[in-house]
């Protein structure tokens, strides 16, 4: 026959209630989710800096891309360190706006991607520009989804 005790178990014990509580706390901590959002945001910032420095898009778009990277980089740091909801909202909004912008560029170019003229209409599907833009849109929508789901997790854990 097993003995039962009404006294609380020591802090380091492995009771069922202690294990359940530890699992709940671990499941509510968004550590890896926050780190993933921060990494994706930082990679996006690095890509904007690389594209701006490479000069593939002209001077004014290069300056705009550097400005975007400067705005998003602190958010990546805040998300990595503290999972700040304000930074997550900013990343979500920026990712959705960028996805819409790149989708507009894709559709406006007749499917030719970043082609800025000089190509005949028959070459619209032959370049990899449209594929690149579709991948960019997919990455941006993924970033927005990851950030939005992290906000939802943080709100749920505060209840």
Picking from 84, 90, 108, 13, the residue whose alpha carbon sits closest to that of residue 44 is: 90
Residue 5 included in any domain: no
Residue 88 included in any domain: yes
How confident is the model at residue 109, as a pLDDT?
65
How confident is the model at residue 15, as a pLDDT?
59
Residue 65 included in any domain: yes
**Structural domains in the chain (count):** 1
Residue 120 included in any domain: no
Residue 20 included in any domain: no
Residue 93 included in any domain: yes
Domain of 50 in residue numbering reads as 32-114+127-158
How confident is the model at residue 92, as a pLDDT?
95
Distances (CA, A) of 6 to 3, 9, 18, 22: 10, 9, 15, 21
Residue 19 included in any domain: no
pLDDT in tens, the chain (159 residues): 555 444 455 555 555 555 544 444 444 567 899 999 999 999 989 988 998 898 888 889 889 989 989 988 999 999 999 888 999 999 999 999 999 998 998 888 654 545 554 444 434 444 567 888 888 899 899 999 999 999 999 888 877
Q: How far apart are CA 121 and CA 111, in angstroms?
A: 9
How confident is the model at residue 158, as a pLDDT?
77
Residue 16 included in any domain: no
């Amino acid at each position: 026959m097993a003995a039962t005790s009404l006294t609380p178990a020591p802090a380091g014990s492995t009771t069922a209630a202690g294990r359940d509580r530890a699992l709940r706390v671990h499941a509510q901590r968004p550590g890896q989710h926050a780190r993933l959002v921060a990494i994706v945001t930082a990679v996006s910032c690095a890509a904007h800096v690389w594209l701006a420095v490479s000069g593939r898009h002209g001077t004014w778009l290069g300056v705009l891309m550097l400005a975007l990277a400067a705005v998003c980089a602190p958010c990546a740091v805040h998300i990595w360190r503290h999972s700040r909801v304000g930074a997550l909202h900013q990343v979500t909004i920026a990712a959705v706006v960028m996805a819409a912008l790149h989708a507009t560029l894709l559709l406006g170019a007749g499917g030719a991607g970043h082609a800025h003229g000089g190509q005949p209409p028959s070459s619209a599907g032959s370049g990899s520009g449209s594929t690149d833009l579709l991948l960019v849109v997919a990455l941006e929508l993924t970033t927005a989804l990851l950030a939005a789901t992290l906000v939802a997790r943080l709100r749920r854990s505060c209840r």
